[in-house]
Amino acid sequence: MNCKTALGLAALIGSMNSGCTEPDIVPERECPFPLYLTEEMKQKVEKHQQEFRKTIPDPFGGIQYLKEGEYVLPKAVMEAHWTAERPYDQTAPWGIWRKNAFTSCSFQENLKKNLDLVRADQIEKVLSRIRFEKERGFKISKEELNVELDQIITKENEEVYLALSLIPNMIAYNEVVFYDDLFYTIMIHERTHKSMDNEITQTENRLLYEAYQDIKFKRCPLTQQGIEAAQNDMVPVKDIHRAQEKKEVCSIFPLLFPDCNNISVPFITRNSIPTLRSDALKYSEFYAYAISDYMPARVELLLERDHPETYKIFLRIREEAKPY
């Protein structure tokens, strides 16, 4: 940590101790940060990334596979970005693919407020550690303290995190995905989004969508022939039994189940993939999950068997998305 950063941090800690914790007031209709990305800002982002990546535990060497336009954010900063965009969504994803830059004052104000909260929390943890050491007659070493202070969001790297929001076609990863081999599937997932948004043709998009519609709405009639077809599609026995049980209920309460004459075995439902996020069956997420091997194996088998042209696109996207 350089002298300038240390002095700035000392002043900030002093202001907190004196009770001056109010954030800077943003004038009406004025953004906390410019709404365009300058060359100087780009250089600051790249410099920050080079330095920050050296501090991340990376036992599986995942960081070396990052591509241009891919960035790593501290866990708390990733959450700050996500909740600035979706204040009511409390679950931040492991990675964020963002096609368009966020060029709005309201987003910047939300993000700045979140980063201020993170910074205040970080400083309070350092102060608590110092108080704890003093109460017990111990001294925290300069080296240990400097490591903790370097992790605090300063005004300088706050600019970097605000600037990242202005970069189009970027992928941001939570630092924790590199703590183990989780990075492999997360990279594939986010790169699939990027590829489908930027790199496939209209014809390819149509083929992918048609196959998705077929898979999502594919059903087999609840007859002996239909059950055999479902088994041939590798639908789990428990899903077939669930459909059979629904028919029994229909026979008792037909008025409550108007579709009881059309009972069938679904190829895939939320019950089939209870571990996935609720949005996994949306078209925008379906292939990102399937290509990163989070969908049941029968999805890929059906693509290969019934949609060979789509399957070729599927395999190409997967190959291009792989880290190695």
Q: Max alpha carbon distance in the chain (Å)?
A: 79
Q: Are residues 218 and 296 in the same domain?
A: yes
Domain count, the chain: 2
Q: Are residues 143 and 40 in the same domain?
A: yes
Average pLDDT score, the chain: 85
Number of neighbouring beta carbons within 10 Å of residue 4: 10
Q: Are residues 10 and 136 in the same domain?
A: yes
- Whether 163 contacts 44, CB under 8 Å: yes
107 in a structural domain: yes
pTM for the full model? Answer: 0.82
> What would the pLDDT profile of 237-284 be if each residue is shown by its tens digit?
999 998 888 877 776 666 666 666 667 888 998 777 778 887 899 999
- Residue 101's domain comprises 3-180
185 in a structural domain: no
Q: Are residues 38 and 176 in the same domain?
A: yes
Name the domain boundary from 145, 180, 215: 180
130-139, 194-203, 220-229, 274-283: the lowest-pLDDT one: 130-139
Q: Are residues 126 and 210 in the same domain?
A: no
> What would the pLDDT profile of 93-116 be if each residue is shown by its tens digit?
999 999 999 889 999 999 999 999
Name the domain boundary from 154, 180, 206: 180
Q: Are residues 176 and 201 in the same domain?
A: no
> What would the pLDDT profile of 128-183 be if each residue is shown by its tens digit?
877 887 777 777 666 666 656 667 888 889 999 999 999 999 999 999 999 999 99
